[in-house]
């Protein structure tokens, strides 16, 4: 399964988001440090879910990190926009 | 001294600390560069810690904060967040509020300039 699909599957299962956009931005970082040549090194995630409402920023990010599990270590960078 | 003890001492001794890849003058990652750039532009006095120079600190800071990524910003010993959070807080003005509440000096006009440029 592509990393993008795995991210979507895990976040959908964990938060039942109203809106979820996962963008593979790896091509924009081609040749930078962190580009491992896999084409799956950098991702941008926009997620909107009611589950985040009671959480502060740090807690929201921690919740997403936890849901992503081993994916955190498998990609170089994930930019998160959570609300 | 263990990595955890070193980290604790660093964030307690310095009002503002940025754990980053590279240094404030020569960042080696786009995300570290962005946060260092904001702090530099806002004239904030801070201690930079280059995690690439010490593998134990690099892992240690992730365990310390229970946060898997670098950069990490601390103000008065408190973990604020990484690149996304610092960016959001800069643009919303929450970073100004935090610094004011914690008594950390910064250039308010420079912060406003960042917000104008990103409006």
Chain segment B88-107, per-residue pLDDT in tens: 999 999 999 999 999 999 99
| pLDDT per residue as tens digits for the range A36-83 | 777 888 999 999 999 999 999 999 999 999 999 999 888 988 999 999
Name every chain A residue with its beta carbon within 8 A of the beta carbon of B29.
33-34
**B interface test, pick of A72, A80, A83 with most B CB neighbours within 10 Å:** A80
Which pTM value belongs to this model? 0.91
Alpha-carbon distance A57 to nearest alpha carbon in chain B (angstroms)? 7
Residue B95's closest CA among B47, B57, B42, B36?
Answer: B42
Give B35-85 pLDDT, tens digit per residue: 999 999 999 999 999 999 999 999 999 999 999 999 999 999 999 999 999
Residue of B nearest to A57 (CA): B85
Q: Which domains does chain A have, with CATH numbers?
A: 3-82 (3.30.300.90)
Map chain A to HEC letters.
CCHHHHHHHHHHHHHCCCEEEEEECHHHHCCCCCCCCCCCCEEEEEEECHHHCCCCHHHHHHHHHHHHCCHHHHCCEEEEEEC
């Amino acid at each position: 399964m592509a990393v993008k699909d795995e991210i979507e599957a895990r976040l959908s299962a964990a938060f039942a988001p109203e809106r979820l956009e996962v963008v593979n931005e790896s091509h924009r970082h081609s040749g930078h440090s962190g580009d491992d040549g896999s084409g799956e090194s950098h991702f941008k995630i926009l997620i909107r879910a009611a589950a985040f409402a009671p959480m502060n920023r740090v807690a929201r990010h921690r919740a997403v990190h936890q849901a992503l599990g081993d994916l955190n270590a498998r990609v170089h960078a994930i930019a998160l926009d959570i609300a | 001294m263990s990595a955890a003890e070193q980290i604790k001492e660093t964030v307690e001794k310095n009002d503002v600390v940025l754990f980053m890849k590279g240094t404030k003058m020569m960042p080696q990652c786009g995300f570290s560069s962005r946060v260092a750039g904001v702090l530099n532009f806002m004239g904030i006095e801070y201690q930079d810690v280059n995690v690439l120079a010490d593998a134990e600190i690099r892992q240690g800071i992730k365990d310390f904060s229970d946060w898997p990524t670098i950069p990490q910003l601390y103000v008065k010993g408190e973990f604020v967040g990484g690149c996304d959070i610092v960016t959001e807080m800069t643009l919303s003005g929450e970073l100004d509020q935090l610094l004011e509440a914690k008594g950390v000096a910064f250039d308010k006009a420079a912060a406003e300039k960042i917000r104008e440029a990103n409006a």
